[in-house]
Amino acid sequence: MRTLTTLSVLVAILAACGGEPQSTHPKMPALPPLQLLPRIEELKQLGSRPVVSLSDVQQRELQEYADVVLGLTEADERIQKRAERNLLESEHAGAVLIPALKHKDAAVRSRAAWLLGRTSRSILQFPLLLRLKDETEPAVTVWIAEALHRLGNDAGLVWIDAAINHEATAQEAGTAALNLLREDGATLAEQPTWLELQQELQQRTKTWRRTGIGSRDGVTPPDAAEVLAILCKHLSITESFLLRPIDEAKFVIIRSGVLALPTVEIAITAAEPYLRSVALQILAELGRTANPLCTKTLPLLEDPLTAAYAMRALGELGCSDATAHLVARLSSPDIELRASAAGALGLFGATEHAPALAALMADANEAMDVRVQSAFALRCIGDNSAAVAFLAERKQKGDYHAPTLQILEDRLTQNR
């Protein structure tokens, strides 16, 4: 007679008792099917567009105008005005102004940014965003941000707001803010204080983070195909794993508002894991702006490689339809999934689940990652003295990763 294995004996006993083997994993709600497709080649194809080549005569003429208006060539006021008018009327002004954003002279960079903002060509916001990442001179960032606003992008207003707080840039930033706000029709005192200007800037920044739509009226949106080509070219660089261009891609796309959504929608379903994870990080940073992509993001909870990224994104997007899926994952055997689910529930204010989050935070046997994320979630949901005390204790005792605690604190500040 053949000897039964231990598993066979267990199955036989359960069958005799009329039962079935029970899984130790919690049953998860059904998700839409996950369909991942190769995307790198698609992004590269979408990102390849014909290069507009200027004739030598056109290039030389535009460069002469640029040299005059940038102050690189001496000219009287009449010639300066004519050169500026001719340059700004050209649809190819960016060809000579974009390179000037990297000029060694900060005054030239500021002037180039100022001029780009007055071209009325909103597609030129993208080289301005890219320059904003690397610019080290605070006064120049003011004019890059000012130009971005004129081209329909409010991502830079936070730089103007910050520059008002520093003596070296307060006057320049305050003047730029005052002019922009008056042109926008903001209700201001006859002689507004710096604080009043900052409050107006901060309100526009909050709206931008929520909607991804600039607050300046009358801006003609850029051509959608041209935007897609620019952003797909940026994102296709993930194929190389080169950190600097990938950081540049993330910086630009995160600050592109609603214009980023078609590109990110392609990338979050990439079969290439690294591209998919980068796209989900971008999606989370876009926040409520990307709420229309909730349905596309939900199936990624089934992806073992990027489920944690997907949960954070669902929370930042405010995808309340994901609540049942997140609550189920609070009891996942995977610590990272439990922690991510807790944090995500807080991000869209799932108040009805505060007791469950409080229990996780208070459970001394629970992983610290889960407890910290539960405390963060409770603070997102509302005033919670126990959560405040718990996070403060982690900071005081130094028993949790300090940079992560700072990131969570910074994220809470955005909600205020």
Determine phi and psi for 270, rounding to 5 degrees.
Answer: -75, 135
Cα–Cα distance measured from residue 256 to residue 145, given in angstroms and rounded to the nearest whole number: 13
Q: Which long-range CB contacts under 8 A does 229-233 form with residues at least 24 apart?
A: 229/46, 229/47, 229/48, 229/49, 230/47, 230/123, 230/126, 231/47, 231/126, 231/256, 231/259, 231/260, 231/263, 232/43, 232/44, 232/46, 232/47, 232/263, 232/266, 233/43, 233/44, 233/47, 233/48
Cα–Cα distance measured from residue 279 to residue 267, given in angstroms and rounded to the nearest whole number: 6
Instruction: Give the tokens for residue 230.
Output: 């620019």
Whole-model pTM: value is: 0.90
Instruction: Give the tokens for residue 309.
Output: 């990224």
Residue 385, classified by CB atoms within 10 Å of its CB into exposed (0-12), middle (13-18) or buried (19+), is exposed
Residue 6: per-residue pLDDT: 36
Residue 359: per-residue pLDDT: 97
Instruction: List the one residue out of 277, 292, 284, 296 whose CA is nearest residue 32.
Output: 296
Q: How far is CA 412 from CA 25, 172, 260, 408, in A?
A: 32, 30, 24, 6
Residue 86: per-residue pLDDT: 97
Residue 25: per-residue pLDDT: 55
One-letter amino acid of 236: S
Q: What is the dihedral of CA 352, 356, 359, 363, to 10 degrees?
A: -150
Cα–Cα distance measured from residue 414 to residue 410, given in angstroms and rounded to the nearest whole number: 7
Q: How far is CA 385 from CA 14, 339, 354, in A?
A: 48, 20, 13
Crossing angle of helices 56-69 and 77-89, in 10° steps, is 130
Residue 89: per-residue pLDDT: 96
Cα–Cα distance measured from residue 303 to residue 291, given in angstroms and rounded to the nearest whole number: 20
DSSP states along 192-233: --HHHHHHHHHHHHHHHHHH---S-TTPPPPPHHHHHHHHHH
Half-sphere exposure of 323 toward its Cβ, with a 13 Å CA cutoff?
Answer: 11
Domain boundaries, the chain: 91-211, 319-416
Residue 381: per-residue pLDDT: 95
DSSP 8-class letter at 37: B
* Residue found under tokens 């940079």: 403
Cα–Cα distance measured from residue 391 to residue 133, given in angstroms and rounded to the nearest whole number: 32
Instruction: From first to last of the 416 residues of the chain, give the pLDDT tens digit.
Output: 333 333 333 333 323 334 434 445 567 889 999 999 999 999 999 999 877 789 999 999 999 999 999 999 999 999 999 999 999 999 999 999 999 999 999 999 999 999 999 999 999 999 999 999 999 999 999 999 999 999 999 999 999 999 999 999 999 999 999 999 999 999 999 999 999 999 999 999 999 999 999 999 999 999 999 999 999 999 999 999 899 999 999 999 999 999 999 999 999 999 999 999 999 999 999 999 999 999 999 999 999 999 999 999 999 999 999 999 999 999 999 999 999 999 999 998 889 999 999 999 999 999 999 999 999 999 999 999 999 999 999 999 999 999 999 999 999 988 76
One-letter amino acid of 70: L
Cα–Cα distance measured from residue 137 to residue 135, given in angstroms and rounded to the nearest whole number: 6
State the Rg of the chain over Cα.
26
Residue 15: per-residue pLDDT: 34
Q: Quick check: 172 and 163 in contact, CB under 8 A?
A: yes
Cα–Cα distance measured from residue 290 to residue 68, given in angstroms and rounded to the nearest whole number: 42
